[in-house]
Amino acid sequence: MPHWQGSIPESTSIQELVEYFKHFFDIQLLKHITEQTNLYCVQKNLAKPFQLTVSELYQYIGTAFYMALVSVPCTQLCWSPSFSVPCLSGVMSRERWEDIKSNLHFNDTTKVPDVGANKDTLFKLRPLINSLLKKFNNLPIDRMLCVDEQMVPFKGMSSFIQYMPNKPHKCGYKLYIVCVWKGIVYISEVYCGKHYPLPECKDLGANANVILYLCKVIPRQQNHLLYFDNWFTTIPLLLKLAHMKIFWLWTVRANRFPSRVVATDKDLGKKRKGELLMTVCEALNIVVISTCTRSESFQSILGIF
């Protein structure tokens, strides 16, 4: 069994929620956002400069968070006489809030790389993403980790919008994340199209490339345990993770394994609910354990190298 020592240390004190927010959105990041927003306004119209301050940016982010809790058809209703929200209307005027919303920028749009190999589809958000990921990566990594997809609901106009009918939120931005059961996220990646392999890794397919990219923050040779579902599972990926001494627990699609390695529905149909069926594949040096977990013989597969 993998030997593991250490875990996420328990906090010695409970901070205010705003302190946790300031840890990720620090003063350096907010200054960068204000500088880029003011620069964009000058580039757009030199006759109408826009002087955004860090204090106003804090207020804008706070009102945006509060609007997520106040369900209104339109944000402008928060300042209307019939539906006034003092927590919002007392902070800044509607016109100022709309001006910040329409001019908010995170990167210099005049430095967008040319279309080609150097194209970055998230160039406008890259400083924000890099700053947050750096802070996520500095968190102590727990032993048991999970890789999965996450949908950020959004129904506006964007080339990154994905439609996934089997998700609770069917339309929005799709993210791949590495997290733990405590809700801590260590790394996330916005899905923008094809996933290319890391320079030091071979191309193992889109699903395996996602796992290997996200695993770059996991220390090697320390027996971490990784959970992921059957969309990611392939034999080359499992061999690569085993070489990296990253252990895993996963479900698998039967058509991704050689014939007779994974039990068929006919085989599991002869078993009672909860009974196991073990198959040994000497060619791949694995043991596949199938269990009938539902009446329709749904398979849950555990592989051991």
Averaged pLDDT, groups of 10, the chain, 305 residues long: 54 78 91 94 83 92 86 82 79 90 91 72 90 88 87 85 86 90 84 75 82 85 84 83 81 70 70 74 70 51 43
H/E stretch holding 304 reads: strand 299-304
* Amino acid occupying residue 209: N
H/E stretch holding 34 reads: helix 27-44
Q: pLDDT tens for residues 287-302?
A: 777 776 654 444 444 4
H/E stretch holding 97 reads: helix 94-103
180 DSSP 8-state letter = -
H/E stretch holding 38 reads: helix 27-44
The per-residue pLDDT for 303 is 44
The per-residue pLDDT for 304 is 43
The per-residue pLDDT for 296 is 44
* Amino acid occupying residue 96: R
CB-based contacts of 152: which residues, under 8 Å, 6+ apart? 169, 172, 173, 174, 175
**CA 255 to CA 279: how far, in whole Å?**
15
CB 288 within 8 A of CB 279: yes
Number of Cβ within 10 Å of residue 155's Cβ equals 10
Predicted TM-score of the model (pTM): 0.77
